[in-house]
Amino acid sequence: MPDRTEIDALIDLMAKLPGLGPRSARRAVLHLIRKRALLLQPLADAMQQVASSARECLNCGNIGTAEICPICADARRANGQICVVEDVSDLWAMERSGVFKGRYHVLGGTLSALDNVGPEELRIPQLVSRIDGEAISEVILALNATVDGQTTAHYIADQLETRVELTSLAQGVPIGGELDYLDDGTITAALNARKRV
């Protein structure tokens, strides 16, 4: 049998990516090898470029190629609002909507006693510093509606309650959602957040 050490190592690395297991990684690697010129080499070049240039924004924690990301560098986005999100993927999702025109703060996760993640392991102290150092009038807590997400939101609210206006994203029935398919927590949140028609 031919030596496949490098190929097996690539499969093992690919299997560590979210959403890929060993079988999916094997299929992906075989596809890349078959399309070597079209996919594998450009992918390797792009990964090398990203590995050498990608960095966290020193201000908000976004991922980009400069020390300060374009959102933080844009003076038009200094409108006094900071949207707090758990991860960069949440920031990118908010940006895709095109609705929010302020700045962001990426925590890097949520508080979790089980995983030994406290405020110092997250970017909560940096958030408090930003509130003190920038002209912030509103902090929007856009954290996931999980137990850890809500625990983190309550902790941040306690830290900032007298310093700035705190708001959170609405929770409840999604557009196009059917009540029969929703969990009890979502129905409860939607009922509690009801508004006059």
Residue pLDDT, tens place only, 71-89 = 999 999 999 999 999 999 9
- Whose structure tokens read 């020193």? 58
- Whose structure tokens read 């006693």? 113
CB contact at 8 A, 107 and 88: no
For residue 190, give the amino acid letter.
A
- In angstroms, the CA 59 to CA 68 distance is 6
Q: Tokens representing 139?
A: 């902090």
Higher pLDDT, 189 or 85: 85
Could you please report the per-residue DSSP string of 163-190?
Answer: TSEEEE---SPPTT--GGGS-HHHHHHH
Reported confidence tier of residue 1, pLDDT bands at 50, 70, 90: very low
Residues 70-79 as b/e (b if ≥16 CB within 10 A, e otherwise) read ebbeeeeeee
- In angstroms, the CA 61 to CA 55 distance is 9
CB contact at 8 A, 167 and 138: yes
- In angstroms, the CA 179 to CA 28 distance is 38
Edge-to-edge strand ranges of the sheet holding 138-141: 103-106, 81-85, 138-141, 165-168
CB contact at 8 A, 32 and 40: yes
Gyration radius (Cα) of the chain, Å: 21
100-137 pLDDT, tens digit each: 999 999 999 999 988 889 888 999 999 999 998 888 99
Q: Above 90 in pLDDT, residue 142?
A: yes
Q: Tokens representing 8?
A: 């097996």
For residue 182, give the amino acid letter.
L
Q: Give the global pTM.
A: 0.83
Reported confidence tier of residue 197, pLDDT bands at 50, 70, 90: low
pLDDT of residue 3: 63
